[in-house]
Amino acid sequence: MICTREVGDIISEINMTVAAEPRAVFWLLEGVTDIKFFKPRIEQSTTLIECNGKYKLIEVIKRLNSVKTLQNIVVMGLVDNDYDWLTGFRLPENVVSTEPRDLEGVLLRANCIDNVLAEYANATAVNHFIKVNGPIVDAILKRAMIFGKIRAVNSLTTKASLKEFKPIQFFNKENWTYDEDRALTRAVKLGVCMRIA
């Protein structure tokens, strides 16, 4: 069983599709959630391909762009902006950078969370949480900020693998907070930076 696909695997999939359908149009996407987001919103004739990550997608596009026999393939990549604005990372011309589309981000940006909590949450618990922590969205952002900062620093420095860096590891369910010191120590151990300033 293939667990992850490499750049060559994705290019082979594109080549096989083109062999069967020479006029195929491809959108390369970072992951399965992107496929789920775009599939109902685009024409059926567009072929969506999951690339298992942004940088693998970019590498596929670069190879397709650089090989003369593959340059006639109509392909576009869509990636999340992530920290590109911070790092100055330049994308190939046929890769479009978008705002992140994850459900959590949409809920926070649209302030839908209040409606969801009003309908499904225990009102007493929500009111207590707000009394202790302030507005829900502010409390979420305050708690999440440390992880965003760690990822931003990682993007600017070593680009260490953060697959083993899961916020839940640092979660304290007694008071719904995160142990930021442990998170920072773990980030240093993973190679994000040499030390904590």
**Residue 176 to residue 187: CA distance in whole angstroms:** 21
Indicate the SS3 state at residue 29: strand
- pLDDT values of the chain reduced to their tens digit, one per residue, 197 residues: 456 789 999 999 999 999 999 999 999 999 888 898 889 989 888 999 999 989 899 999 999 999 988 888 999 999 988 777 777 888 999 999 887 666 666 767 777 888 888 899 999 999 999 999 999 889 988 999 999 899 888 888 888 888 889 999 999 988 889 999 999 999 999 999 887 76
Planar angle of CA 153, 191, 197, nearest 5 degrees: 55
Q: What is the pLDDT of residue 2?
A: 55
State the burial class of residue 153 (Cβ atoms within 10 Å of its Cβ: 0-12, 13-18, 19+): middle
Q: What is the pLDDT of residue 69?
A: 87
Dihedral over Cα of 183, 188, 191, 197: its sign: positive
3-state helix, strand, coil in the chain (%, to 5): 55, 15, 35
Output the six-digit token pair for 91: 């994308």
Q: What is the pLDDT of residue 71?
A: 86
